[in-house]
Structure 1
Amino acid sequence: MDFSTTMEIFVSNYTLIDNEIYELWVEGVSAIEAVCQLKGKALLQQGSNVEMLQSEIEDHYRTYSLLERLLHNPAKIKDHQLEFQIEPQIMSMLIQRYYKFDDAVYRDILGKKLSTRNRKDLDDLSERTGINILSCRRQFDNAKRVFKVVEEMPGLVVKNIIDNFALDKELAKSYATVVFLGSLRFDCTKRKLQYLSFQDLSHCAHAIMANWTCKEQGPEQDDTEFDREFLLDLKDLRVMLDKDREHKHFSLVCAKVKPQMLEKVFQDVENNFKTYTRAILGISCGLHRSREMRTLFIDMVEKCLEPWYAAHWSRADLSIFLAAYTHSALEMDALREAELRQSWERCMNVLSACLTCLHKDKKEKK
């Protein structure tokens, strides 16, 4: 009688990824804490016990720790690593989740140097926000890594981030905010700016990148470098401060806004137009100086928004005023030269986008 047995054996090093366990690892949750969070879920319902669950989680954590060094250089994963067999769509998911961030963390680091000293302050940030300290450190290190790679790289910063870190476009745009505001040293740390979210400042950063940076096609194209010729041209907007021109501008603006505003707000426009126009033009004409560009956000809050808050302007009022203010100037002889008209529009497109974004009502500022 033949008792021989035929066996077929298949050996594979295909890497298994558990989405829920990976998410906990990314968030800095320890293996023991992960067991506590998952022990009442599907793994136990399938007949496993706590020891088996802990063993499986620890095995996943070891795998993810080995993967982490690859996640630091995502662009090379596809062509230069053979250690892990992972489907491209799964690897893309791992990268996006590893580089995801909390708005509170990235809002805190905006305007700060990504230095070892500031990394040590993450304990305080973790305590304030309730975000795991390991997650805070991962997010800080990711920002520093992206910043270091693309800061001096010519070209469009979002494209450079996508090419080097394989991030999706929306995530790359967020990292571009960190790179742009950090490399050009925008001051985002003042107390009066703390009500602004990361997304608020990101909106402003991309408006500036789209309108005020070098956008020539070819090797000179770079949206982390300001168009210095344009910024210098803004000094010529001082022609709008001529007494007669200022009065004409005032008349044109009032004619446009009166039908659209409450009487109380319109009276404030009439009474304080000179103050408001000089604040806007003062900011615009000083942008060629690096120091005034760095303080752009605090200047907009202190010189423009605070007086409008005091006069109880709504965001709708502000939008109406800025649209009328911009378009009325284009009707004046003072801006008849094509280059000056273009400079005015480029400038006001950004200031209008930023001011309306930074304007918050009382509920939003809490």
Structure 2
Amino acid sequence: MNEVEVFVGNHTMIDPEVYDLWLRGCTADEAAQCLQKQESLQTFQATIDDLLSDVQDNFRLFCFLENMLKSPPRLRDQQIYQMAQDTQTMLIEKYYGFDPVVVREFLGKKLASRTRKDLDDISELARVPLRSCRRQFDNIKRVFKAVEELKGSLVENIQTHFLLSEPLARDYAAITFICNNRFETGKKKLSYLRFRDFADCAGRMITNWSYSSVECIIHENNDVDLDRNFLLSLREVKVMAEKECLEEHRQLMLKAAQGFPEHMKGHLSENFRTLSKTIVNIAYGLNHNRESKDIFIDLFEKLIEPFTQCQYSCGEVQKVMTAYKDSALQTEFLARTSPHLQTVWERYMGTLCACVVRMYPKQ
């Protein structure tokens, strides 16, 4: 009699490559055909039927897991599918991964059924399968709904409720922040900007302009909102656009620009009044929802476009904005009359400068 040793286990095996194809929105047939082209599988002479059967088994497993992936802590706590923690982490991280070109189209839009109906157009534009676009949209909406009313740090709340890595949680925080504040990102003149540009700007706004800022008095509020006390304080910098303060600031700015090329010094001397009023008016406008929604439009039309018309390089723009910010701190108004506004000014201008530089067209 022949003896046969049999080992029975319930460890769930995940094929990351097949999982990627499922997340991409491929059908089982499409995934099998894609796998068949691999040399490693040709070595084993796997037929298309063999591959299709295996892919179908994997796809069924992923469909069962999907309900738990929608609430990642459930996947960690469940006992049905035994798998290592690093495998669980991989499943969650990839499930909530996204295509920047797809998410770029969601930014600033209301996460409602009407937007979901437009996914056909986004799918065609981004050349990403519709099923994948739907997963990405639903994930963003799910994260948004879960954290929009929670107190405290957006990033930490997202990590707690969805077990995402910090970089991915920061991306979702930026998306949530932009969508919550309904910042306009879809205008044609902003089409050159990519997701990463907006995410970087939003991240800086969360860090410096929201309730999570270290300068914020009240930290229990949510990062999805701009710090109201900070915005109210920005109203006071309106004085910077008045005649007396404006001329003093102009002289200090030109002194700081001594090392700049002659064409820059001449331009700043002639256009300082316009530049200063623009920056101060943007600060003042953040107090009003209608104007704050257009922050990216304002930065482009009122700062970036004039700089590009004068053929400033990105480095030159950074020098101008930094000199403007620093010279203002030496004025009578900020240095002596209202020193409490120095922190407000640094908080506002540091982020504004970084956003202008990030958004500035790279040559």
TM-score range, shorter chain: over 0.9
Q: Is 1:303 equivalent to 2:302 in the alignment?
A: yes
- Matched to 2:46, the amino acid is S
Q: For the residues of structure 2 that align with 1:169 and 1:8, how far apart are their CA atoms?
A: 46
- Could you tell me which residue of structure 1 aligns to residue 161 of structure 2? 164
Deviation at 1:254, TM superposition (A): 1.2
- Matched to 1:43, the amino acid is L
Cα distance per residue 1:129-180 (max 9 Å; x no partner): 2111111111111111111111111110100110010110000111111111
- Could you tell me which residue of structure 2 aligns to residue 193 of structure 1? 190
- Could you tell me which residue of structure 1 aligns to residue 342 of structure 2? 341
- Matched to 1:251, the amino acid is Q
Match of 2:121 among 115, 120, 124: 124
Q: What is the correspondence of 1:64-83 to structure 2 with a 5 Å cutoff?
A: 64-79=62-77, 81-83=78-80
- Matched to 1:319, the amino acid is Q
Identity, % of aligned positions: 38
Deviation at 1:265, TM superposition (A): 2.5
- SS state at 2:10 partner: coil
Contact 2:257/2:323 (8 A) holds in 1: yes
Q: What is the correspondence of 1:82-97 to structure 2 with a 5 Å cutoff?
A: 82-97=79-94
Give the 3 Å change call, closer, same or farther, for CA 142–34 of structure 1 in structure 2.
same
Give the 3 Å change call, closer, same or farther, for CA 327–217 of structure 1 in structure 2.
closer
- Matched to 1:191, the amino acid is K
Cα distance per residue 1:224-258 (max 9 Å; x no partner): 22221121111111221222221121111112123
Q: For the residues of structure 2 that align with 1:50 and 1:324, how far apart are their CA atoms?
A: 65
- Could you tell me which residue of structure 2 aligns to residue 38 of structure 1? 35
- Could you tell me which residue of structure 1 aligns to residue 254 of structure 2? 254
Contact 2:149/2:222 (8 A) holds in 1: no
Contact 1:101/1:139 (8 A) holds in 2: yes
- SS state at 2:259 partner: helix
Deviation at 1:76, TM superposition (A): 2.1
- Matched to 1:346, the amino acid is R
Cα distance per residue 1:174-200 (max 9 Å; x no partner): 111111111122122222212111111
Deviation at 1:6, TM superposition (A): 4.3
RMSD across aligned C-alpha pairs, in angstroms?
1.6
Cα distance per residue 1:251-282 (max 9 Å; x no partner): 1111212313x322322111111111111111
Cα distance per residue 1:303-335 (max 9 Å; x no partner): 111111111111111111111111111111111
- Could you tell me which residue of structure 1 aligns to residue 171 of structure 2? 174
Q: What is the correspondence of 1:261-280 to structure 2 with a 5 Å cutoff?
A: 262-280=261-279
Q: What is the correspondence of 1:1-366 to structure 2 with a 5 Å cutoff?
A: 3=1, 5-41=2-38, 42-79=40-77, 81-215=78-212, 220-260=220-260, 262-335=261-334, 336=336, 337-361=338-362, 363=363
Q: For the residues of structure 2 that align with 1:36 and 1:156, how far apart are their CA atoms?
A: 45
Q: For the residues of structure 1 that align with 2:132 and 2:124, how far apart are their CA atoms?
A: 12
- Matched to 1:296, the amino acid is I
Contact 1:43/1:53 (8 A) holds in 2: no
Contact 2:185/2:296 (8 A) holds in 1: yes
Q: For the residues of structure 1 that align with 2:298 and 2:274, how far apart are their CA atoms?
A: 14
- Matched to 1:19, the amino acid is P
Aligned length: 357
- SS state at 2:224 partner: strand
Q: For the residues of structure 2 that align with 1:175 and 1:359, how far apart are their CA atoms?
A: 23
Q: For the residues of structure 1 that align with 2:313 and 2:275, how far apart are their CA atoms?
A: 16
Query: Which ranges of structure 2 fall in alignment gaps of 5 or more residues?
Result: none
Cα distance per residue 1:276-301 (max 9 Å; x no partner): 11111111122111222111111111
Q: For the residues of structure 2 that align with 1:58 and 1:146, how far apart are their CA atoms?
A: 29
- Matched to 1:349, the amino acid is G
Q: For the residues of structure 2 that align with 1:32 and 1:7, how far apart are their CA atoms?
A: 36
Give the 3 Å change call, closer, same or farther, for CA 9–219 of structure 1 in structure 2.
farther
Q: For the residues of structure 2 that align with 1:110 and 1:21, how far apart are their CA atoms?
A: 29
